[in-house]
């Protein structure tokens, strides 16, 4: 049997299963595809069928566990332990097993489980960042490749997922900008740092006239989604170091849900402050907690003290211009506390 390629369509996979109901590869590829589309019940049915077809398949148990990990972590543990027992060298299975342990709140076991992946593949950004978060390491920023991998994976369903979390940061940010600068109806040039699929630019467009809109993101898949929305005059694939050499004529920048992946902000402010026009504004959002500066949490996100943002910004001529506490989103029925702030270049 030929294994279906990664880009094969749902229709083709269903046709392959219709031709051969025992086609394991088609079952697994279709289960993964449906899971990526948040069609969880359908994905779970296919994955369960795959484990029945091939109970000795490590891939079948791994994919079954990956679908269960956010629905039923204990059940995911059972499936993923089978996958690791069948293929102890599988980094994919070990990573998912570690995530399942983390979902149950057992962060020590999660760190222990993913440590071999980090040791054997130091370039694996997802494994490194996850290990740091679960082991309590005090890393200053994300590991290379972490953000790109995570957001490339979630790009197709990103907007739908955030709506399910009652996410309103872009709208709340636009409203705060309007309160801080009530006479402002127009910004000449926007830089949207970590633009994602364009939710920030879309919210700002409802309040302000912004003829030039530049989006910057590490995830090429997110940029592809944003491109289809025609929200930006230019999109750049990269981080803030890609701005070196740009002139300082942006009068508005936003960095929404960006600092939660950065930690220490001095380098970022060093990159972006010279590109901000005098009097220009930077709006940002952070997750908050009682910490002196910032801290990496087991969620994989950095939390910040708003006072640290002000202190770091002042090093580069950025002064606080306004802010408000908020609820960023709801996760597992719990509200995630945050803060939306605005800095202004002197």
Instruction: Give the separation between CA 311 and CA 320, rounded to whole angstroms.
Output: 9
Give me the CATH number covering residue 231.
3.40.50.150
Instruction: Give the separation between CA 330 and CA 163, rounded to whole angstroms.
Output: 10
Number of domains into which the chain is organized: 1
For residue 35, tell me if it sits in a domain: no
Contacts 24+ apart (CB under 8 A), 6-15: 10/34
For residue 293, tell me if it sits in a domain: yes
Count Cα atoms within 13 angstroms, Cβ side, for 335: 7
CB 97 within 8 A of CB 77: yes
For residue 257, tell me if it sits in a domain: yes
Residue range 36-56: average pLDDT? 93
| Helical spans, DSSP H, in the chain | 10-19, 24-36, 40-53, 58-68, 73-86, 91-103, 107-120, 125-135, 146-154, 158-164, 169-180, 199-205, 220-229, 266-272, 306-314
Q: Which of 238, 320, 251 is nearest to 284 (CA)?
A: 320
Tokens coding 156: 């197709």
The tens digit of pLDDT for each residue in 147-191 reads 888 898 888 889 988 988 999 999 999 999 999 999 999 999 999
Beta strands 250-255 and 189-193, pairing class: parallel
Could you give the 3-state DSSP secondary structure of residue 166?
A: coil
Dihedral angle computed from the Cα positions of residues 62, 63, 66 and 71, in that order, rounded to the nearest 10 degrees: -120
Residue range 278-293: average pLDDT? 96
CB 131 within 8 A of CB 115: yes
For residue 200, tell me if it sits in a domain: yes
Instruction: Give the separation between CA 291 and CA 309, rounded to whole angstroms.
Output: 12
| Band (3; pLDDT cuts 50, 70, 90) | very low
Residues 6+ apart with CB under 8 A from 276: 248, 250, 251, 253, 282, 318, 345
DSSP 61-93: HHHHHHHHTTT-HHHHHHHHHHHHHH-TT-HHH
For residue 143, tell me if it sits in a domain: no
Give me the count of residues in the chain.
346
Instruction: Give the separation between CA 327 and CA 215, rounded to whole angstroms.
Output: 25
Question: What distances in angstroms separate CA 252 from CA 103, 217, 274, one per listed residue?
Answer: 38, 17, 13
Output the pLDDT for position 144.
67
Question: What global pTM score does this model have?
Answer: 0.87
| Band (48; pLDDT cuts 50, 70, 90) | very high
For residue 44, tell me if it sits in a domain: no
Instruction: Give the separation between CA 332 and CA 312, rounded to whole angstroms.
Output: 32
Res 1 pLDDT > 60:
no
Residues 6+ apart with CB under 8 A from 55: none
Tokens coding 180: 């801080």
Res 245 pLDDT > 90:
no
CB 301 within 8 A of CB 146: no
For residue 89, tell me if it sits in a domain: no
CB 240 within 8 A of CB 215: no
For residue 56, tell me if it sits in a domain: no
Tokens coding 35: 């899971």
CB 226 within 8 A of CB 200: no
| Band (145; pLDDT cuts 50, 70, 90) | confident
Residues spanned by the domain of 195 = 156-345
The tens digit of pLDDT for each residue in 55-77 reads 999 999 999 999 999 889 999 99
- Provide the sign of the torsion angle of the four alpha carbons 250, 251, 257, 259, taken in this order: positive
Q: What is the distance in angstroms between the CA of the first residue and the CA of the last residue of the chain?
A: 66
């Amino acid at each position: 049997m030929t294994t279906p390629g990664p880009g094969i369509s749902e229709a083709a996979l269903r046709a392959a299963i219709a031709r051969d109901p025992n086609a394991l590869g088609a079952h697994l590829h279709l289960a993964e595809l449906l899971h990526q589309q948040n069609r969880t019940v359908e994905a779970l049915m296919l994955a369960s069928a795959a484990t029945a077809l091939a109970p000795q398949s490590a891939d079948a148990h791994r994919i079954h566990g990956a679908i269960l990990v956010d629905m039923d972590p204990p059940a995911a543990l059972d499936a993923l332990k089978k996958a690791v027992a069948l293929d102890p060298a599988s980094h994919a299975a070990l990573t998912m097993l570690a995530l399942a342990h983390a979902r149950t709140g057992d962060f020590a076991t999660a760190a222990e489980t993913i440590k071999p992946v980090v040791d054997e593949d130091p370039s694996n950004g997802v494994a490194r960042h996850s290990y740091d978060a679960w082991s309590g390491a005090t890393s200053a920023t994300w590991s290379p490749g972490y953000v790109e991998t995570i957001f490339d994976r979630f790009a197709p369903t990103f907007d739908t997922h955030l709506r399910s979390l009652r996410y309103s940061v872009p709208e709340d940010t636009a409203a705060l900008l309007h309160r801080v600068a009530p006479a402002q109806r127009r910004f000449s040039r926007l830089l949207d740092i970590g633009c994602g699929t364009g939710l920030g630019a879309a919210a700002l467009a409802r309040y302000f006239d912004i003829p030039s809109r530049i989006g910057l993101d590490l995830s090429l898949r997110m940029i592809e989604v944003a491109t289809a929305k025609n929200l930006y005059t230019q999109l750049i694939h990269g981080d803030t170091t890609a701005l070196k050499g740009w002139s300082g004529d942006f009068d508005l920048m936003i960095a929404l849900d960006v600092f939660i992946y950065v930690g220490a902000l001095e380098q970022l402010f060093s990159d972006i402050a010279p590109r901000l026009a005098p009097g220009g504004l930077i709006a940002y959002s952070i997750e908050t907690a009682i910490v002196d500066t910032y801290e990496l949490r087991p969620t994989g996100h950095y939390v910040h003290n708003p006072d640290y943002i002000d202190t770091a910004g002042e090093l580069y001529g950025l002064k606080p211009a306004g802010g408000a506490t908020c609820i960023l989103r709801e996760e597992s029925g719990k509200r995630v506390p945050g803060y939306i702030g605005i800095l202004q270049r002197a």
